[in-house]
Chain A
C-alpha cells in the first residue's frame, strides 16, 4: 500500500504544479514558446543559478540596464551664423555598474533608440573600466533608411569588424605583453576582452583574468535638431539564469518544464482513459456475447498487436503534422483493440460462470442489461489499474514523437525540449540542465503512475495479495 501512497503523492504534486503553473507563466507566455521575441533578453545556454554551488564561484547573473536608469546630460543649442545656422543636441548617457561576478559575461547587447526628425545623428559608444582605461567602441551615424519625418529607429548595435579593430587598437595601445601575432590573429571575444585585466593573457579566450570593479558605459549622441532624443538599453548577459537555465532560443526552461506537466498529464490521462475504456468495452462485449463478434474482436486485436504502430504514427505525423489533440485521435484509432481487450475478455469469461449472472438470467434480465449492470461494474476496478499503467506509455509516445521533432508545433512538451537539446548538441557541450530536467520530469511522472498502477494491481489481483 505504501507504494500506492507514494504514487498518489507524486501525482498530487504534478496536479499541484498544473494548478500553479498559470500563475507562474500565463498561457500567453506559453503560446509564444516557439517565437523569439519574448525571450530575447535572456542569456543563451545559461545554467541554473543554483548550479554555482558545484563550481564554488559567484557566476554572473544577467544585468539589464533600462533607459531610465542611465544618467543623462542634455545640451540643446542654436548656433547662429556665421558658424551656423545650426541646431545641435548633445546627449550624454552614462551607466555605472559594479561587476563583482567570478566569471565573464556570456554576451553584451546594446540597443539604441534614436528619435530624430531629419538628419542622421552621430553616436559614440565608450566603455570606461575600473583600471581607468577608456575603450572607444564605436562611432557611427544612425542610418536614416526611410527618409521620412519624425524617425524613431531602434537598432541593436551589432558587433562589427570596426568594433573589433578598435578593441585590437586599444589593447595594442596599452602594450601589456600580448604577442604581436596574437594581437592581429586571435579571435576577439568582446565580452571577455573588455572585462579582462590588461595582461598577456587578455586574448586567451576564457583563460583571461577577470577585472572586477566599476564599469561605465558612455553613449554620446549628437543630433542636428533641437528635438532629437535618444534611448539606450544595455544588457550584460550572465551565464546562469533562473531555476532551470535557458536553451538556444534563450527561453526560460522552467516555464517549459512546468507547462510540460499539465500537458503530459492531460495527454496521458486522456489517451490512456479513452483507449483503455474502448478496449475494455470491446473485450467485455466479445467475452460476453461470444460467437462471431468475439472471433472478430479477437482477430482484430491480434492484428493490432502486430502492425508497426510507431512507424505508422511517425509517418502520419510526418505527412500531416498533427497538433496534440489530433495526435490523441490517431492514438485512439491505433488502440481500439489491444492487450486490454484480451485481459478483459478472460476476466469476463470467468465472471460469466458466476452465480449472480445465472440469477440475473433466471429473473429474465436481458443480455445487454447483464453486460452493463452486472459485468462492466465488476471489471471497472481492473480498468482503473490498467488506465494508470497505460498512461506512461502514452506520455512516452508523445515524448518520442516530439523528440523526433514531430510533436505539437507550438506547445512546449518534455519530449520536445529533450529533442531540441539533443539536436543542438547539449550532450556534447555539457548543457546538462537542458536534458536532465525534462527527462527527470518524464521519469518522475512515470514512476508516479507505475506505483499507482502496481498498488491497484496488488489490491485487485487476489493471487498477488495472498503473498
Chain B
C-alpha cells in the first residue's frame, strides 16, 4: 500500500502544480487584456462581414444599423463570455485548457485545413515525442556506457579528456550544435537532409519508403540531441560509480571473487539507478522545452516549431494551448518517472510491506 499512497500523494501534488502552471500562463497571456482585444476585434470583424452580406441589414438606416450591430455584438461577447470580469474569465480559461478544449487557431492550420488547435497539435505531437524520446534513449545508453568506461579508467588522460568534453557538451544546448551539424553534414557533405520532417515537395510513395524517409529526416536532429545530452549521462554515471565503488558492499562483492563485470552491472549500476532515473526525468523535461529551438533550427514540424511559428504569427490561442500541453507533458513525465523511481528505490518499495 505504501507505493500506492506515495504515488497518490505525488499525483495530487502534480495535479495542483499543473493547475497553477496553466493559471499562470492564462494570467500572463491576459495580463494586458491582449487576448481579449484580439478576440473582440475578431468578433467585430466577423460580424461586420456577415452583416455586410445581409441585404435586409443594408436596407436599414444608419441609426437602426448601429443599434442592430451593437445588439448583435454584445450578444456575441456574452456568448463567448468576454464581458465577464477577469477573475471569472481566467478560471474559465484555465478550466478549458485543463480539459484540453483548446479552441480555434487564428492563422495556423493543420494539414487538412482544420483550424482546431487540437488537430494542429495532434498531428505534430507524435513527431516531437518520438524524436526526443529516441534521442534521449540513444544519448542515455551511450552516455552510461561511456561513463562506466570512464569510471573504470578513472583519472587517466582518457577519463580527464572525456570529462571535460562531457561537461562542455551538456552545458551547450542542442540547437547550437544543430546549427553546426547542419552546416557540416547537411550543406558541406550532403549526408543528411538539412531540414523538415519529410521530403518535400513529394515524399516517397509506399508505406515502407515513407517511414524510411521520415526516419532519415529524424536522424540528424536525433544525433544532435544525443550528442548534446550524452555528456550529462557519462559525467553523472562516472561520478556515481566512483562514489559507489568505495562502498563496503562493493568491496564485499569483490571479496567474494565475483568477476568485475558482474560487480559493475549487478551491484554498482543497480545502486546507481535511482539517481540516474532522476537525471532522466530532468533531461527529458529540458528536452521537451528545448524542442522549441532545436526543432526550429532543423525546421522539424513538431510542437516546438509550432510554438515558434505561433509566436511569429502572434497566434495566441495556439501559444497558450501549447504552454498547457507543455505543462501536461512535464507533469506526466515527472509522474511516470516518480513511479519508476518508486519501483527502483528500495526505501520507497519498503513502504509497501
Tell me, yes or no, whether A375 is within 8 Å of chain B by CB: no
* A403-B175, A439-B176 known; A310+B290 contact, CB < 8 A: yes
Task: Decide if B14 touches A308 in the complex (CB within 8 Å).
Answer: no
Distance between Cα atoms of A442 and B171 in the complex (Å): 11
Q: Which residues of A contact B17 (CB under 8 A)?
A: 302-303, 306-307
User: Interface segment, A75-83, A286-294, A446-454?
Assistant: A446-454
Mask for B2-23, Cβ within 8 A of A = 1, else 0?
A: 0000000000011001001100
Q: Is B105 an interface residue (CB 8 A)?
A: no
User: Does A373 reach chain B (CB closer than 8 Å)?
Assistant: no
Knowing A307-B17, A314-B311, A319-B34, the reply to whether A400 touches B293 (Cβ < 8 A) is: yes
A306 and B327 alpha carbons, distance in the complex (Å): 8
Task: Please choose the segment from B95-103, B177-185, B201-209 that sits at the chain A interface, where 4 or more of its residues have CB less than 8 A away.
Answer: B177-185
Q: What B residues does A464 contact at CB under 8 A?
A: 239, 242
Q: In the assembled complex, which residues on chain A have CB atoms less than 8 Å from the CB atom of B308?
A: 404
B319 located at the interface, meaning its Cβ lies under 8 Å from any Cβ of chain A in the complex = yes
9 smallest CB-CB distances across A and B, nearest first, come from A308-B326, A310-B289, A307-B21, A311-B323, A311-B326, A450-B167, A392-B171, A306-B17, A446-B171
Which residues of chain A are within 8 angstroms of B180 by Cβ–Cβ distance? 436, 439
**B343 interface hit (Cβ, 8 Å):** no
Give A393 to B168 CA distance when docked, in angstroms. Answer: 12
Q: Flag whether B220 is at the interface (Cβ < 8 A).
A: no
A-B contact pairs, 10 of them (CB 8 A): A306-B330, A307-B21, A308-B289, A312-B28, A315-B25, A400-B173, A404-B293, A427-B186, A443-B168, A449-B171
Q: Assess A427 versus B175: contact at CB under 8 Å? Given A312-B28, A312-B323.
A: no
Q: Quick check: is B331 within 8 A (CB to CB) of the other chain?
A: yes
B79–chain A nearest beta-carbon distance, Å: 26
Q: Is the CB of A442 within 8 A of B323?
A: no
A306 with B21, Cβ < 8 A, contacts A299-B13, A403-B175, A446-B171 known: yes
Give CA–CA (A404, B307) in the complex, Å. 10
A435 to B293, CA, bound (A): 15
User: Chain A binding site: helix, strand, loop or mixed by DSSP?
Assistant: helix
Q: A311-B322, A427-B183, A467-B242 are in contact. Are A403 and B330 (CB under 8 A)?
A: no
- Residue B323 contacts which of A315, A418, A436, A449 (CB distance < 8 angstroms)? A315
B29 at the interface (CB under 8 A from A): yes
For the complex with contacts A308-B326, A310-B290, A442-B176, 11 further pairs of A-B residues with Cβ separation under 8 Å are A299-B13, A306-B14, A310-B292, A315-B25, A320-B31, A427-B187, A427-B194, A435-B183, A447-B168, A451-B164, A454-B164
**Structural contact, A311 and B28, CB atoms closer than 8 A:** no
Other-chain contact of B154, A310, A418, A467 (Cβ < 8 Å): A467
Contacting residues of chain B (306-338) with chain A, CB-CB under 8 angstroms: 307-308, 311-312, 314, 319-320, 322-323, 326-327, 329-331, 334
CA distance A185 to B202 in the complex (A): 32
Interface string of B23-35 (1 = CB under 8 A from A): 0110011011010
8 A Cβ contacts from A264-318 to B: 299, 302-303, 305-312, 314-316, 318
A39 at interface, CB cutoff 8 A: no
Q: Do residues B179 and A439 form an inter-chain contact, with CB atoms below 8 A?
A: yes
CB–CB A319/B28 < 8 A: yes
Q: Is A422 an interface residue (CB 8 A)?
A: yes
Contact B171 A319 (CB under 8 A): no
Residues from 412 to 457 in A contacting B, C-beta threshold 8 Å: 418, 422, 427-428, 430, 432, 435-436, 439, 442-443, 446-447, 449-451, 454
Contacts of A428 in B (CB 8 A): 187, 194
**Residues of B close to A403: CB separation below 8 A:** 175, 293
Q: Is B172 at the interface (CB under 8 A from chain A)?
A: yes
Q: Is A3 an interface residue (CB 8 A)?
A: yes
Residue from B34, B246, B322, B334 within 8 A of A306 (CB atoms): B334
Are the CB atoms of B13 and A319 closer together than 8 Å? no
- Other-chain residue from B31, B164, B168 in contact with A319 (beta carbon distance below 8 A): B31
Judged by DSSP, the binding face of B is helix
Q: How many cross-chain pairs have Cβ atoms below 8 Å apart between A and B? A: 132
| A406 lies within 8 A of chain B by Cβ | yes
B residues near A, CB below 8 A? Answer: 13-14, 17, 20-21, 24-25, 28-29, 31-32, 34, 154-155, 163-164, 167-168, 171-173, 175-176, 179-180, 182-183, 186-187, 194, 239, 242-243, 246, 282, 285, 288-290, 292-293, 296-297, 307-308, 311-312, 314, 319-320, 322-323, 326-327, 329-331, 334
CB closest residue in chain B, given A454: B167
B167 (CB) vs chain A CBs: closest residue: A450
Residues of B contacting A310 in the complex (Cβ-Cβ under 8 angstroms): 289-290, 292
Q: Cα distance A132–B10 when bound, in Å? A: 87
Name A's B-contacting residues (CB within 8 A).
3, 299, 302-303, 305-312, 314-316, 318-320, 392-393, 396, 400, 403-406, 418, 422, 427-428, 430, 432, 435-436, 439, 442-443, 446-447, 449-451, 454, 463-464, 467
Q: A315–B308 Cα gap in the complex (Å)?
A: 11
Q: A319 and B32: CB pair below 8 A?
A: yes
Closest approach, in angstroms, between the C-beta of B229 and any C-beta of chain A? 14
Contacts of B176 in A (CB 8 A): 418, 439, 442-443
Q: Is the CB of B24 within 8 A of A318?
A: no
Cα separation A319 to B331 with both chains bound (whole Å): 25
Residues of A within 8 A of B187 (CB): 427-428, 430
A303, A307, A451 pick with most chain B CB within 10 angstroms: A307
**Cα–Cα, bound, A272→B297 (Å):** 27
Task: Give the residues in chain B near A312, CB-CB below 8 Å.
Answer: 21, 24-25, 28, 323
A463 to B238, CA, bound (A): 13
Q: Is the CB of B175 within 8 A of A306?
A: no
Q: Which residue of A lies closest to B170 (CB)?
A: A450
Contacting A303 at CB < 8 Å: which of B20, B154, B242?
B20
CB-based nearest A residue for B281: A305
Cβ-defined contact, A307 with B171, below 8 A: no
Q: How far is it, in angstroms, between the C-alpha of A442 and the C-alpha of B293 when the chains are bound? A: 16
- Residues of B close to A309: CB separation below 8 A: 289
The reply to whether B24 and A320 contact each other, CB–CB distance below 8 Å, is no
Report chain A residues within 8 Å CB of B320: 315
Do A307 and B168 touch across chains, with their CB atoms under 8 A apart?
Answer: no
Cβ–Cβ < 8 Å partners of B13 in chain A: 299, 302
Does B292 lie within 8 Å of A404, measured CB to CB?
yes
Q: Contact between A307 and B330 (Cβ–Cβ < 8 Å)?
A: yes
The distance in angstroms between the C-alpha atoms of A233 and B334, with both chains bound, is 65
- Bound form: Cα–Cα A390–B71 in Å: 57
Interface centre among A3, A312, A464 (most CB of B within 10 A): A312
The CA of A309 and the CA of B21, in the complex, are separated in Å by: 9
Distance in Å: Cβ of A153 to nearest Cβ of chain B: 40
A422 to B182: give the CA distance in the assembly, Å.
11
Closest to B160 in A: A3
